[in-house]
Structure 1
């Protein structure tokens, strides 16, 4: 098979770090090639160079055997290279069709020919088996559908080399299956695909070859059929990784969180959480499973004071926190790892030491009578950065400078270091690598073992089953079943997640009473 992409000796330096250190990479025509590595290993940097967003200090790039100098994305697109970024670049109040043709609009005179645009998008979507409505507005469709729009946008521009950056980070299990089929369809059309990921099960399922990068250097190139998950994990992290969570049986104590008949509306004013009852005790992890869009986000926003509750009761350690402010709820003993680290977890332009005390900035020892004590803040930030292995040259750099996984570890460090009575962990390992997943899982179990209550929300069934002592399933804004971990498996949870019922499970949804 012929090389369609060759990158030779690529070196890229940022202040304080070598992101790519003499990296070689090649892509064969018609293959799916995974770039695997820890967060901050240099995977996305390498692909940003191929896409023209960064310029390397040294190295050469060949496309279809010809040496090229890609100085911007427009040149990459002309060479047939398209990139779907981890954080989608869509105009949320535009339709699907308008987003796909943006910048290459069919015209009728000087105006957009919207009818032709819709027909072109329908034809393209049908060709690749995408079930998507060109007239839908982006803000009204699921994350999985938005990803399809990004892929179609690249294909509309003539891409036959597709770079997908962490494509499964925000997808449900069903959407991941759909993506796998899409990639197979693209390959059958003669396209070549580069996946940037750290999800080992998906690597084994979707790829033909894997290039592993660790701290800017290539540590191995393997044929997928000749390797294993354990080998890939070790090449990626540089040590053997425990892929199974070590966890003793739980011994639940007193109720820490009690929710009764909670009613919440979404941003359109429609019912989103419909009469939820749930209890979480000290010394247990209760997992919330469910397909994205079934009220989980609104449920957690209501518990944390980020969304108004319509009715019901929320008791945290004998205090009614119903419709209290986020600060009041934090002061009652809540820690919150939010599902969107950029929107809810960090102020990206602020330094790490400033982000390390968010939610505590008004308290001693960090401030007194409104005056910040920066010496105490720096001592604290440096301690938790070290304890939680947040990889950064300094606590003075902006949070935006960190990789996604290190941003997530900073949030986990901050929230656990608050010593909360209840820790809400919403998608705690979204977009982080296997080494960071192992670390975060270990810390969540340690919280449980120290008699804290943990409420875990995750779309990753493997994560729910690995960590939870009880599993509650949300469907259409309701808790439709609560299972003890010993009774829960993927099949039973899948039935509940799809809106079915388990005849054998007639337990009260407010398990733990």
Structure 2
């Protein structure tokens, strides 16, 4: 990609960027949220057309007007926000657009065999008949990768591929990527996770605010040097927090069970725990072990089948979402697009979604637009939310990380007693992660209760005051982050430790 320039209203997303990828190479693309990484890859995949510059493949200038052109050239892309049809099955999504058929009749059997063979070969096991809307985000990620492999692409673009995966899945994916490179496939890998770059990438190109900063050989650099190139300053990788006295119980969950949406079994089984003022309690577990359903039950997105939920002594088991919000729950959801934002609203509208009915923002049923704009300006400044047109930017046009910052700003700024943060740093760069961790600690220090759900072992061990481990819908351990290790935590998360405890209890 030579001298690529791409502009949007109010912003130059890519400013004269050159990027070169060799056959069999894993090339990482690093930069802060909104640095222009996804935009550059969208130009390569034909979703956007650059105003200036050219793309060459094997020395020949190529024109990529749309993703079909990209696929024809062997270029595939796994997007940060998946491009899947929710009401279609896994198999239907994988073959969509290149359905094998004879005289117009779909040959699903052959497609299924190819998909299952690919999923077995690369360890990407999926249920081909499951609907996308019923599977976890980690599983949807696998579907996106299989979609690309099904099309026999040789240049693979991964946009934040590990943002939604568990530590074990990340390990597997990185091995798969190394395998792709050995087979001669070339990989462009957008990530914020410096450990991953150090582990798999051959080269790393750094962008900052739409400009090219430089390309380095990964074997000749360090995490610290890369983070400094990315944000222009030194980053503190350790979370600074002091010991705090814990106060009264804010959230109390007793004997809670939640039924699965797919089958009638309980996915959360008799779970009980408390979260007190002045503490960060982290729920750790491998994706798909009931975390999503548990949080949905606490926030009102889903019904419980038995048990009770109390907030500051008040029973909220059957309260509506708004009642829970007013009672003092703030929620940073797992899926920012589905439950966090209205993508086609302006940024300022999204920032008052939880509060527009309050006297500060409305009078006799009419929105006070000046008050909303003023409030949005304050949050944009305080939380460093970057967008082309400030408060009036359409939220869909913002980078994923800045969309996440908007949700965090809205939820932390509103009156709350309990902050439920589900993977709040997913898809954020190191500078933004450092900032979010400070916000969580500040919320705790202000005497609020924080319930954090995370798949990141580093985050779990660094940020939490107490760790609860969930496995197959049950709490199987409560750990002190100061006294445990990533290895021990991993054993609990995989269920191995619970089995040991069960054997001891059974007298084996």
Q: TM-score scaled by structure 1?
A: 0.93
Partner of 2:506: none
CA distance in 2, matches of 1:264, 1:133: 22
Q: Does 1:417 align with 2:413?
A: yes
Decide whether aligned partners of structure 1 residues 276 and 356 sit closer, same or farther in structure 2, where only a CA change above 3 A counts: same
Q: Would the alpha carbon gap of residues 505 and 485 (structure 1) be closer, same or farther in structure 2, given more than 3 Å must change?
A: farther
Match of 1:67 among 35, 40, 61: 61
Q: Provide the C-alpha distance between the structure 2 equivalents of 1:338 and 1:98, rounded to a whole number of angstroms.
A: 28
RMSD between superposed Cα atoms in Å: 1.9
Q: Residues 86-125 of structure 1: matches in 2 within 5 Å?
A: 86-125=80-119
Q: CA-to-partner distance for each residue in 1:10-53, whole Å, 9 max, x for gaps? A: 00110000000000100011010011111110011111111111
Alpha-carbon separation, structure 2, partners of 1:120 and 1:485: 44
Residue 438 of structure 2: aligned partner = 442
Contact conserved, 1:198 with 1:434, CA < 8 A, in 2? yes
Partner deviation per Cα, 1:210-255 (whole Å, 9 max, x = no partner): 0000011111211111111111111111111111111111211111
Distance 2:370 2:87 in 1: 45
- Look up the match of 1:511: none
Aligned counterpart, 1:34: 28
Partners of 2:487 and 2:158 in 1: CA distance: 30
Deviations 1:249-290 (A, max 9, x none): 121111111221112222234312211111111111000000
**2:306 partner SS:** strand
Aligned pair 1:431/2:427, yes or no? Answer: yes
Per-residue Cα deviation, 1:472-510 (whole angstroms, up to 9, x for no partner): 01111111111122222212211211123369999xxxx
2:197 is paired with a residue whose SS is helix
Q: Which runs of 5+ in 2 are unaligned?
A: 503-508
Classify 1:224/1:60 alpha carbon distance in 2 versus 1 (closer, same or farther; 3 Å).
Answer: same
- Residues 28-37 or 180-189, more deviating: 180-189
Which residue matches 2:295? 300
CA deviations on 1:300-341 (whole Å, 9 max, x unpaired) are: 111111111222222211211111011111111111111111
Cα displacement string for residues 83-133 of structure 1 (whole angstroms, at most 9, x for unaligned residues): 111122233444444333332222233201222222333444455454445
Question: How many pairs does the alignment contain?
Answer: 500
Using the alignment, how far apart are the partners of 1:200 and 1:53 within structure 2?
A: 27
Q: Distance in 1 between matches of 2:379 and 2:89?
A: 44
Partner Cα distance (2:464, 2:119) in 1:
39
Aligned to 1:54: 48
Residue among 450, 455, 468 paired with 1:454: 450
TM-score normalised to structure 2 length: 0.94
1:391 is the counterpart of 2:386? yes
| Secondary structure at 1:486 match in 2 | coil
- Secondary structure in structure 2 of the residue aligned to 1:88: coil
Distance in 1, matches of 2:154 and 2:43, equals 17
CA contact (8 A) 1:492 1:502 kept: no
Checking the alignment, whether the CA contact within 8 Å between 1:211 and 1:220 is kept in structure 2 is yes
Q: Give the Cα separation in 2 of the matches to 1:100 and 1:115.
A: 13
- Superposed displacement of residue 154, structure 1: 2.1
Counterparts of 1:135 and 1:18, CA distance in 2: 43
Secondary structure of the 1:309 match is: coil
Does structure 1 residue 327 correspond to structure 2 residue 354? no
SS in 2 for 1:26: coil
Map of 2:478 onto structure 1: 482
**Once the 2 structures are TM-superposed, how far is the Cα of residue 153 of structure 1 from its aligned partner?**
2.3
Asked if 1:259 is matched to 2:253, the reply is: yes
* Residue 59 to residue 414, structure 1, CA distance change in 2 (3 Å): same
Q: Secondary structure at the match of 2:18?
A: strand
Residue 220 (structure 2) aligns with: 226
Taking structure 1 as reference, are residues 313 and 94 closer, same or farther at Cα in structure 2, changes over 3 Å only? closer
- For residues 210 and 21 of structure 1, what CA distance do their matches in structure 2 show? 18
User: Could you tell me which residue of structure 1 aligns to residue 466 of structure 2?
Assistant: 470
Identify if the C-alpha distance between structure 1 residues 336 and 98 changes in structure 2 by more than 3 Å, giving closer, same or farther. Answer: closer
The runs of 5 or more residues in structure 1 that have no matched partner are 1-6, 507-513
